[in-house]
Structure 1
Amino acid sequence: MLEQSVRNGRRTSLTGLLLALGDRCLVLPNVAVAELIGYQVGTPAEQQPAWMLGWIDWRNQRLPLLSFEAACGGSVKVGERARIVVLNALGSSRQRFIALLVQGIPRSCKLDSQLNYVDVPLAPLELAAVQVGDQVAKVPDLPALERLLEDAGLV
């Protein structure tokens, strides 16, 4: 939820979520996340790419379940603390929600206009790396993730 701190008519901070993955941490504004649910194995899709973990049912909807690490060229990791974060799609496709595999419960954090960017290598679906407390977190390119689904013919 956006903080009501206002400077010159602008919001100066928002609440973010740190999403632990198998090999990195992502940071998103909390409004990007619709819900956190328990892990479930997806129903396989025909000829699905390695990053597509299948389809899951959520609130009477069929959602694609993705591995961000695999979509960035890494491997799929399903740990003992695996969960699924349901993301709000940004509207460029017909898909309203996307399910993303995470490793544990997201943590809340404050994000402000003074984010410290970190100069580290970025994967194809990452826009930036930022320092959040004592952790480096990657900012995912959500529109590119949606395009990945469209390009694969999954939505």
Structure 2
Amino acid sequence: MLERLISQRTSHLTGLLLPLADRNLILPNVAVAELIDYQPAAFDLDTPPWYLGRVTWRNRQIPLLSFESACGQKIVIGERARIVILNALGGRPGLKFIAMLVQGIPRSYKLDSQLSYVDVPLCALEKAAVQVADQVAKVPDLLALEELLVTAGLS
């Protein structure tokens, strides 16, 4: 997805580096609707461990997830925790946005068509790893995240 957007827009795209507890994710700016303060969400014990409940955003109830937990790691809610609201891309009528826990404020980076791919282990929800400035960032599979919510009946 990231590569396609870069090639469609001359040779530059602004990306956001999202800090997680154990990795950084990189997304095109257009994938992020808003960054909001962390708010605890109510959830049922019957839900998957990566599902953190629903948060309120613009009078909507948005499903909140932990990307790290969906990749098999433990959930971390640090003192700098925030929530990123992502635009859903799959065209599902009941799923317009996804909330994801992040561990700080995303940083903006100019990306170009000369992204350097890095060979590191990826989880099933990651499409690639790239070098962004002095950090390795993973490219999340946003459609797979949506499918995770839909399959679990949480969209």
Q: TM-score, normalised by structure 1?
A: 0.92
Q: How does 1:77-88 map to 2 (within 5 A)?
A: 77-88=76-87
Percent pairwise identity: 66
Letter in 1 for 2:98: I
Q: Which moved more, 1:133-142 or 1:9-18?
A: 9-18
Residue 33 (1) aligns with residue 28 (2): no
Whose radius of gyration is greater, 1 or 2? 1
Q: Which moved more, 1:144-153 or 1:36-45?
A: 36-45
Q: How does 1:1-155 map to 2 (within 5 A)?
A: 11-45=10-44, 47-93=46-92, 94-155=94-155
**Where does residue 4 of structure 1 map in the other structure?**
none
Structure 1: which 5+ residue stretches go unaligned?
1-6
Letter in 2 for 1:124: A
Q: Which moved more, 1:44-53 or 1:120-129?
A: 44-53
CA distance in 2, matches of 1:136, 1:67: 19
Count of residue pairs brought into register by the alignment: 148
Letter in 2 for 1:106: P
CA distance in 1, matches of 2:126, 2:90: 19
CA distance in 2, matches of 1:76, 1:92: 28
CA distance in 2, matches of 1:80, 1:39: 9
Report the 3-state secondary structure (helix = DSSP H, G, I; strand = E; otherwise coil) of the residue aligned with 1:37. Answer: strand
CA distance in 1, matches of 2:71, 2:41: 20
Give RMSD over aligned pairs.
Answer: 1.4
CA distance in 2, matches of 1:153, 1:37: 25
Offset at residue 46 of structure 1 (A): 5.8
CA distance in 2, matches of 1:10, 1:144: 24
Greater fraction of residues in helix: 2
Offset at residue 23 of structure 1 (A): 0.2
